[in-house]
Amino acid sequence: KQEVTQIPAALSVPEGENLVLNCSFTDSAIYNLQWFRQDPGKGLTSLLLIQSSQREQTSGRLNASLDKSSGRSTLYIAASQPGDSATYLCAHPGGGANNLFFGTGTRLTVIP
Amino acid sequence: NAGVMQNPRHLVRRRGQEARLRCSPMKGHSHVYWYRQLPEEGLKFMVYLQKENIIDESGMPKERFSAEFPKEGPSILRIQQVVRGDSAAYFCASSPRTSGPNTEAFFGQGTRLTVV
């Protein structure tokens, strides 16, 4: 059974701090792993997609890493800002590649 | 190039009514996926469609739920005789014609269904 776990479920940090969000998955044969951002009452915005052959991807203040052997991915956010407050979701394709398996997310609050 | 468009954004239905949720994929995308997000839960896959074909409906409830993606027009997720437990956010995603496991999916803003 595919499982994707995100711990902690919620995180509060003061503005300016660097932080790491964690994602664990049970399928070591994933094709890729994707990080999304979801604002309250809104849709999902794709942040980064890491292919299985890659170790990390960077976009601005965001850096995502992938370690398939240990079943872990991290999303590093540098110099956090209040505008970063949102729920962050990780997901990977299922075995049939027809759908994404999502974690339950980490709700981040950056305090001004 | 507009993103994935879903409408309505919010839908209120009384128990027993029908709900119709629409999704127009991004231009050039012919693969559509529907997901449901129950309150305080993660997104769960429901169904995967290509034009005029249901490819994978393994996540669809066995009764009252159906989906289509006609040759012309948006994809429709239809829920008949809605119950309170159907209240959720329903998200649509699309990917390009040459979709594969490494293809990025793009999500719409979702339709929030409330059953009263």
Mean pLDDT by 10 residues, chain A (112 residues): 88 97 90 91 88 92 94 96 96 76 94 96
**pLDDT at position B97:** 61
Measure B14 CA to nearest chain A CA, in Å: 21
**Residue B24 one-letter amino acid:** S
Residue B109 contacts residue B9 (beta carbons within 8 Å): yes
Residue of A43, A46, A98 lying closest to B48 (CB–CB): A98
For testing contact with chain B, the best of A27, A89, A98 (most B CBs within 10 A): A98
**Cα–Cα distance for residue pair A66/A53, rounded to 1 Å:** 9
Q: Residues A84-106, buried b or exposed e (16+ Cβ, 10 A)?
A: bbbbbbbbbbbeebbbbbbbbbb
For testing contact with chain B, the best of A3, A44, A46 (most B CBs within 10 A): A44
Residue of B33, B45, B110 lying closest to A43 (CB–CB): B110
> CA A91: distance to chain centroid?
7
Residue B48 contacts residue B60 (beta carbons within 8 Å): no
Cβ contacts of B6 on chain A, cutoff 8 Å: 43
**Residue B27 one-letter amino acid:** K
**pLDDT at position B39:** 81
**pLDDT at position B70:** 93
Name the residue in chain A with its Cα closest to that of B47.
A99
Per-residue pLDDT reduced to its tens digit, A1-26: 678 999 999 999 999 999 999 999 99
**Cα–Cα distance for residue pair A51/A3, rounded to 1 Å:** 19
**pLDDT at position A97:** 62
CB contact under 8 A, A97 and B101: yes
Structure tokens belonging to residue A7? 């711990």
Overall residue count recorded for chain B in this entry: 116
Please identify among residues 50-109 of chain B the ones whose CB lies closer than 8 Å to any CB of chain A. Answer: 55-56, 59, 91, 93, 100-102, 104-109
Measure B81 CA to nearest chain A CA, in Å: 25
Shortest CA distance to B44 belongs to which of B3, B96, B103, B93? B93
Pairing between strand A106-111 and A10-14? parallel
Phi, psi dihedral angles at B34 (to 5 degrees): -115, 135
Per-residue pLDDT reduced to its tens digit, B40-63: 788 999 999 998 999 999 999 999
Residues of chain B with pLDDT below 50 are: none
**Residue B112 one-letter amino acid:** R
